[in-house]
Amino acid sequence: MSEQNEKTRGRITSRTMAMPADTNPSGDIFGGWVLSQMDIAAGICAGQRAQNRVVTVAVESMSFIRPVKVGDILGVYTAIDRTGRTSMDIHVEAWVRRGRIGTREKVTDAVFKFVAVDDDGIPTPIPEREDLPEYALRWSPTDEESVKS
């Protein structure tokens, strides 16, 4: 599938620019920097769905498809895959816009697992859909949308 036809899955949750401070000695953007941006975005999505504090407990099957370069705009998209009693799976995709205005490319994706916890770190139930504010419903599986930037 060509870049023009490929669509993102989920909702844009964060955007940031890859900067020289985010590179290794060879000038490539650290994979850990990309992972942290994805974790931040997934945490926003999970926290809004849980209406509570959440903690990352696992990241599944992440592989880098393409590198991120200095000057790229990194956009992170999130969608809720599964909601359990206290845990949820968030599908996360990272895309770049090369050189701020150029070609759009998917660079990686993964599933992040979160658990909702109370102030003492004890797992706490995730609210039912009908108890959520409208803004939190936008990430729900039944409201999934494809976004093209």
φ/ψ of 17, rounded to 5, equals -105, 135
- Residue 146 pLDDT greater than 50, yes or no: no
Distance CA 51, CA 45 (A): 10
Residue 3 resides in a domain = no
The answer to whether position 5 is within a domain reads no
Structural domain harbouring 77: 11-135
Look at residue 110 and tell me if it is in a domain.
Answer: yes
- pTM of this structure: 0.87
CA 140 from centroid of its chain's CA atoms: 14
In a domain, 114, yes or no: yes
Predicted pLDDT of residue 5: 66
Q: What is the pLDDT of residues 54-103, one digit of tens each?
A: 999 999 989 899 999 999 999 999 999 999 999 999 999 999 999 778 89
The answer as to whether 116 is a domain residue is yes
Overall number of domains in the chain = 1
Residues in the chain: 149
Q: What would the pLDDT profile of 112-122 be if each residue is shown by its tens digit?
A: 999 999 999 99
Q: Is residue 49 part of a domain?
A: yes
